[in-house]
Structure 1
């Protein structure tokens, strides 16, 4: 199975940059997500976490 993927990919010039780009996108996304989580205000987190409970109370 790997030879069907590896063979054509080796013939493409500059294909080695795509794994690096995907790794950088992955890293920056999760680094930004961790930064947002640690800098988010506690009031906002509590308000958003209680939204499902507030919606159920308003329906009754």
Structure 2
């Protein structure tokens, strides 16, 4: 089964670009997440972290 899949994948033109695109999307997502974590305001982080403890929210 694996040999069939390998031979089939090798026959597709430009197949090597898909893993590179996936890696690029993965890297960009986590780079943006890393940037957001370090630039988010401390007040916002504190406010959001207290949401589960807030009794005034409707259920």
- TM-score, structure 2 normalization: 0.88
Tell me the CA shift for residue 6 of structure 1: 1.2
- Higher mean Cα deviation, 43-52 or 4-13? 4-13
Residue segments in structure 2 that go unaligned for 5+ positions in a row: none
- Following superposition, which runs of at least 4 residues in structure 1 exceed 2 angstroms of deviation? none
The residue correspondences of 1:1-60 to structure 2 (distance < 5 A) are: 1-54=1-54, 57-58=55-56
**2:52, 2:34 → 1: CA distance?**
24
What is the alpha-carbon root mean square deviation over aligned residues? 1.2
The number of aligned residues is 57
**1:39, 1:6 → 2: CA distance?**
44
Residue 12 of structure 1 aligns to a residue in which SS? coil
Residue segments in structure 1 that go unaligned for 5+ positions in a row: none
**2:8, 2:45 → 1: CA distance?**
48
**Higher relative helix content:** 1
